[in-house]
Amino acid sequence: MERVSSQDALKRAVLDEGLCAACGACVGGCPYMTTFRGKTVVLDRCTVEHGRCYRYCPMTEFDPDAVSALVFERPHDTEALGHLDRVISSQAADPAVAALGQGGGTVTALMLLALEEGIIDSAVLTRILPGEEYARGVVATTTEEIQAAAGSKFVGSHSLAAVRQALDAGHRRIGVVGLPCQVRSLRKMALYDLKQENLKERIALVVGLFCNWAFSSRDFAAFLAPRFGPTSIKRFQIPPPPANVLEVETDDGATRVPLDELRPLIQESCRTCPDMTGEFADVSVGMYEGMPGWNTLIVRTSLGTRLIEDAVRTGRLRTDAFPDSNLEHLKKAALQKRKRASQA
Amino acid sequence: MSLISLDAPGREILLMGNEAIARGALEAGISVAAAYPGNPSSEIIGSLAEVAKEMGLYVEWSVNEKVALEVAAAAATSGLNALVAMKQNGLNVASDFLLNLNMTGIRGGLVIVVCDDPAGISSTNEEDSRVFARLADLPLLEPSTFGEAKEMVRFAFEVSRAIENVCIVRSVTRISHARGNVILGPLPSTRLVPYFDTTRSFSALPPSITHPVAHRRLKQAADMLAESRFNGYSGPETPELLVIASGAGVLFSGEVIDTLGLEARVGLLKIGTTWPLPEKLILERLRTAEKVLFAEEVDPVLETNVKALFADNNQRLPRITFLGKKSGTIPDLGELSPGLMTRVIADLTGTAIPDIDADYAESARDALENFTPFRSLAFCPGCPHRASFWAIKKALALDGRNGVLFGDIGCYGLGFLPTGFRQPKTLHAMGSGAGMASGFGKLHDLGATQPALTVCGDSTFYHAAIPALINGLHHRSNFLMILLDNSATAMTGFQPHPGSPVDAMGDPAPPVLLEDLCAAMGIKTLIRDPFDLDDAAMTIFELIQETGTKVLILRQECALVRAKKTPRRYRVHVDPAKCIGEECGCNRFCTRVFRCPGLNWDVSAGKSVIDEAICAGCGVCADLCPRGAIVKESA
């Protein structure tokens, strides 16, 4: 009988079950698997038994206590938002940066600062490259490259494949902006570090993005193509409830698509994901509902605290309090996602 | 320079069996020879083509075996002697014409040499073509030595001219492809002039008239064969065991009787004229037989016919125990061998098999291990088929609908093995991949969701795939035909085909181009280079997203042909510092998955290495290495 390889196990547990989150962790540097138009595709069978593909996948076994011990030096905090230092609101002080971002440009401002201060030497971000239809991971090492990746993509993008690219390029302090599933994968990389690549140090900064769900990028592209043409889309926005629409901003203005039409395009994996806020990130950033131009910012680790303090001190970031009523609302939303996942 | 045209009667020379057959045809004074190449028959026409000019022959590589037989029949209805050669599968292709030609007969001489391939050494099947002789009411001869092969072909022409019908000679791989001494006979000094006598007609219709003629001709052949020196008996008058053998079975049985010292106990009845049987001779031997063993290759043809003869004459014959394929004494498939015949005859006669000298056995084993390392069946280094199947594999994986690739006959038939990444899922006859794809592409109307694809070589395309393509096109079938155009009939030895700029005799010939044919049919036809893996894969992917019948020509010259004409494109080596070997992220991707024989795995170093002696320098592996460790430099 043939032994079960990591790839076999991944196929069985995740890919064949339709549970791939399209995070990209398995495909980076692997000749046996690739991404194609938003899907993870197995090209050939790999026989490696202790491979990274299965171990680093966010959809396989996840030990929250072990990851918490690694990141926060304490057991997993089962509160709605995970372990945190504080929750505040923020926006990029530079209006040009704020305008690039989805909410208040906080993520872009933080990554720019981290690069400038040498906290990171490269940033793995998600971007739709000119002329391309699908978002992908890029390794950014300049201000321009970081700014070009601003804005939410609303899809699974396989962007963690670029982490392998950054590692192969020899980057020693990599900052990554990712969805909660990707944050989990990044922490599994650091925890298991199967090839002793010093990933705990080299994945130097993890910025989590709030996420309720993401679209399958292939299905989303297929949905958009006949309606908007290939390249005219500038930005997506989901206005706060009760709008229940996706705003598609094109050269010809904004069009509203009812979210109910889009729900079938949501990745199956999102329905089983319990994490709305990226509970294991250094900092997590999301929209501030009802406050256009601002973000909700959860500071979780000492590195996160230091980064925010530096950002405020150097005038990169403006912060404000996050009212208790909003916090309760945020927690409620996070618990709702957790509940949905437990019932999935 | 070829030895087969040597004008030296009485001289004994070493010839390959197929060359001996060709020599026999020359001695019989043939004017025309035609064939479609197919192992183990290819050298017959190949060697005649070499001497065509010198001997004043017309020799051609026909588009397929049926056409080859028709070309030869034109000569033979015009009074000439014509030879057609083919492998066993070829006779199936030619059979539609053959089973009408037999009814009309001919006016000259026409001999079909069919080379069977017991054990399917270079074939998809091991069918026994002798059954065609009975089906077609035509005489069939079976040589058992190289010299006899030559003589039999000459005799076959005598029979053919005498009965004015086709005569068949059945060879097998071990006779066609081995070499032995042959004594040359005289070559004819005069040539026949072709003339189609228009006072005669050759129409199979109506069978009520032509069938009895065919029977009469066969009876006439039977009388000639009965007296033939190709049949004979050696052994005691009343043998304990009578071996009735044909073909290679004669050689092996004779050798065993000799080795075991059974000359006084076991008799050998050699049958060279397998159909119709030399009945008188056989009945004579059966009269004194108790136990009969049949030694023939593949099907129990001789066995069944002799048993039928026995049944017809049983009142005048003793009780006989018949042993052979039916009794399970001899396997009903594959080749015979001296070892097999030794075991069978020793067992039946209660004879001890002499021990093999232990030293000899050991040195034989050593030689085998040292000089014949294990090799799996694989495409040559630098073979474009490997790249083509890689591109197909990738396109099907990206597509994700479990596309079905229908295979076909040629070197690329090996694609169902790991060397072709097990991509083709069917393998039958020439052109059948296209026909099946045409059929599967219509099942989409019935709910099938898998894309249909077929691969077809250039030579196979001309041979039998064009009708299937037309069928698919006309019926709006959804399939992609990938023409693996390596510009050669590679598997059988690089014979020219209708796409070649040259014919069998080396004269310039107008190439009939694949793309021109497809364009004339109005089929969407693209041409790509399989060595550009990603481009080829994406093109296949895009084409299988479309409906309708499409053709993609993956064009790259056969590596063996190329190597004879042009230097290597790239010098390729592995940078050991970059090669990560068995690590995650590689897991010996190049040697374990891509599997080009030019890539070796150095076990002690844990790295891949290029075998520079056999690397063809295609550079494809360099594009595949996930670590960029395989380096190609323009040579």
CA–CA gap between residue A328 and residue B40 (Å, rounded): 84
CA–CA gap between residue B572 and residue B579 (Å, rounded): 14
Which residues of A fall within a CB distance of 8 Å from B583?
Answer: 195
Q: What value does the mean pLDDT take over residues A79-92?
A: 96
Q: What digits encode the pLDDT tens for the residues B315-328?
A: 999 999 999 999 99
In chain A, the percentage of residues whose pLDDT exceeds 70 is: 99
Chain A nearest CA to B397, separation (Å): 6
CA distances, B407 to each of A87, B70, B238, B428, B513 (Å): 63, 28, 54, 8, 22
Chain B nearest CA to A51, separation (Å): 6
Residue A134 contacts B, CB cutoff 8 Å: no
Residue A9 contacts B, CB cutoff 8 Å: no
Which residues of B fall within a CB distance of 8 Å from A47?
Answer: 587, 592
Q: What digits encode the pLDDT tens for the residues B135-148?
A: 999 999 999 999 99
Q: What value does the mean pLDDT take over residues A222-245?
A: 83
Q: Is A315 exposed, middle or buried (0-12, 13-18, 19+ CB in 10 A)?
A: exposed
CA–CA gap between residue B569 and residue B634 (Å, rounded): 6
pLDDT at A2: 66
Q: Is B571 exposed, middle or buried (0-12, 13-18, 19+ CB in 10 A)?
A: middle
For A180, half-sphere exposure in the C-beta direction (CA atoms, 13 angstrom radius) is: 25
Which residues of B fall within a CB distance of 8 Å from A34?
Answer: 398
CA–CA gap between residue B299 and residue B301 (Å, rounded): 6
Which residues of B fall within a CB distance of 8 Å from A31?
Answer: 585-586, 589, 593, 624, 626
First to last CA, chain B: 34
CA–CA gap between residue A112 and residue B556 (Å, rounded): 50
Residue B367 contacts A, CB cutoff 8 Å: no
- Full set of structural domains in chain B with CATH: 12-226 (3.40.50.970), 232-349 (3.40.50.920), 384-564 (3.40.50.970), 568-634 (3.30.70.20)
Mutate to test the interface with A, among B390, B533, B582, B584 (most CBs of A within 10 A): B584
pLDDT at B285: 97
pLDDT at A297: 98
Q: What digits encode the pLDDT tens for the residues B484-501?
A: 999 888 888 899 999 999
Which residues of A fall within a CB distance of 8 Å from B624?
Answer: 31
Structure tokens at A60: 């396989």
**Between residues 189 and 218 of chain A, which touch chain B (CB distance below 8 Å)?**
194-195
pLDDT at B1: 60
Q: Which of B397, B584, B592 sits opposite A43 (nearest CB)?
A: B397
Does the beta-carbon distance from B585 to A29 stay under 8 Å?
yes
Which candidate, A7, A50, A70, places its Cα nearest to that of A195? A50
Q: What digits encode the pLDDT tens for the residues A301-344?
A: 999 999 999 999 999 999 999 999 999 999 999 999 999 999 98
pLDDT at A220: 95
Q: In the A/B pair of chains, how many CB contacts fall below 8 A?
A: 45
Does the beta-carbon distance from A29 to B398 stay under 8 Å?
no
Tell me the average pLDDT of chain B.
Answer: 96
CA–CA gap between residue A6 and residue B439 (Å, rounded): 39
Q: Which of B421, B584, B624 sits opposite A194 (nearest CB)?
A: B584
Do B103 and B210 form a contact (C-beta atoms < 8 A)?
Answer: yes
Does the beta-carbon distance from B589 to A32 stay under 8 Å?
yes
Which candidate, A176, A191, A209, places its Cα nearest to that of A275? A209
Output DSSP code: residue A220. Answer: H
Who contacts B397 (Cβ-Cβ below 8 Å, separation ≥6)?
A: A41, A42, A43
Chain A nearest CA to B547, separation (Å): 19
Q: What digits encode the pLDDT tens for the residues B354-387?
A: 888 889 989 988 888 888 777 889 999 999 999 9
CA–CA gap between residue B281 and residue B265 (Å, rounded): 19
pLDDT value at A231 more than 70: no
CA–CA gap between residue B313 and residue B315 (Å, rounded): 6
CA–CA gap between residue B37 and residue B84 (Å, rounded): 11
Does the beta-carbon distance from B589 to A31 stay under 8 Å?
yes
pLDDT at B314: 94
Omega before residue B576 within 30° of 0, cis = no
Q: Which of B398, B400, B584 sits opposite A51 (nearest CB)?
A: B584
Nearest CA in chain B to A41: B398
Q: What angle do CA B541, B543, B549 make, to 5 degrees?
A: 145
Which candidate, A189, A249, A160, places its Cα nearest to that of A51? A189
**Between residues 53 and 112 of chain A, which touch chain B (CB distance below 8 Å)?**
53
pLDDT at A234: 83
Which residues of A fall within a CB distance of 8 Å from B423?
Answer: none
Does the beta-carbon distance from B587 to A50 stay under 8 Å?
no
Domain positions in chain A? 6-55, 64-214+267-343, 217-265
CA–CA gap between residue A26 and residue B585 (Å, rounded): 10
Residue B397 contacts A, CB cutoff 8 Å: yes
Chain A nearest CA to B609, separation (Å): 19
Q: What angle do CA B119, B343, B283 make, to 5 degrees?
A: 85
Omega before residue A274 within 30° of 0, cis = no
Chain B nearest CA to A42, separation (Å): 7
Q: What digits encode the pLDDT tens for the residues B539-581?
A: 999 999 999 999 999 999 999 999 889 999 999 999 999 999 9
pLDDT at A250: 86
CA–CA gap between residue B138 and residue B131 (Å, rounded): 10
Does the beta-carbon distance from B586 to A51 stay under 8 Å?
no
Q: Which of B394, B400, B587 sits opposite A47 (nearest CB)?
A: B587
Cα torsion B284, B285, B288, B290: sign: negative
Do B293 and B329 form a contact (C-beta atoms < 8 A)?
Answer: yes
Which residues of B fall within a CB distance of 8 Å from A30?
Answer: 584-585, 626
Phi/psi zone of residue A94: left (φ > 0), alpha (ψ -120 to 50 degrees), beta? beta
Q: What value does the mean pLDDT take over residues A23-43?
A: 96
pLDDT value at A194 more than 70: yes
| Under-70 pLDDT residues of chain B | 1
Side chain identity, residue A124: V
Residue B66 contacts A, CB cutoff 8 Å: no
Other CB atoms within a 10 A radius of the CB of residue A324 amount to 9
* Number of residues in chain A: 344
* Number of residues in chain B: 635
Residue A11 contacts B, CB cutoff 8 Å: no
pLDDT value at A229 more than 80: no
Structure tokens at B585: 């992220």
pLDDT at A1: 52
Chain B nearest CA to A157, separation (Å): 17
ipTM associated with this complex: 0.93
Structure tokens at A170: 């020899």
Q: What digits encode the pLDDT tens for the residues B156-185?
A: 999 999 999 999 999 999 999 999 999 999
Query: Does the structural domain A64-214+267-343 have CATH classification 3.40.640?
Result: yes
Which runs of consecutive H residues, i.e. helices, occur in A120-271? Answer: 143-148, 161-168, 180-192, 199-202, 217-228, 259-262
Which candidate, B117, B128, B120, places its Cα nearest to that of B18? B117
Q: Which of A31, A41, A48 sits opposite B398 (nearest CB)?
A: A41
